[in-house]
Chain A
């Protein structure tokens, strides 16, 4: 089942309102995305914790409706 990029962005924004998100639909099939999420909320967190915050924002869709989301997270430049 596919999921559109706007939906992914909206869900992430709900949990991480300051997030700057860029999403690329890798195959144009609505099922394989690459996302880069930049948020101040990631500061001081490990990569695993940062990714877990994004997965939490997606509320269980990752690994289900959303098959593949290559994720990169970072904190904003000072």
Chain B
């Protein structure tokens, strides 16, 4: 893996508490799976940074290698990989996502 891409990804997930690697932007998601995660985070009132992998092919490939995860979107909280769309959705439904965010000190809508 290109060391600079890996470093850039590590920087992204360190700089912001909640980072979503996605297709498109939070305002204009370009894929249904990315849109679903944006919707969940918005519903929880979580501030997050969206990183559009479509605008940078090296990040699109690099994040898959970085996380050992083959698909986009990918959610990171406090530098830790939480999961893709299915896991985020499942955790949202069981209340685990809110719990995780709170445990990590991310403010969530009550």
Contact = CB atoms under 8 A, between A and B. Distances in A.
Interface of A: 47-48, 51-52, 55, 60, 62-64, 68, 70-72
A47 B83 contact: yes
22 contacts: A47-B83, A47-B91, A48-B69, A48-B81, A48-B83, A48-B87, A51-B83, A51-B84, A52-B68, A52-B69, A55-B69, A55-B70, A60-B70, A62-B70, A62-B71, A63-B64, A63-B70, A63-B71, A64-B70, A71-B86, A72-B86, A72-B90
Main secondary structure of the interface of A (DSSP, over half): mixed
Nearest to A60: B70
Closest 9 CB pairs of A and B: A63-B70, A62-B70, A63-B71, A47-B87, A71-B86, A55-B70, A70-B86, A48-B83, A52-B68
A24 to B, nearest CB: 14
Contacts, number: 31
Most A CB within 10 A of own CB, among B68, B70, B81, B87: B70
Contact of A51 (B33, B64, B86, B91): B86
Contacts of B86: 51, 70-72
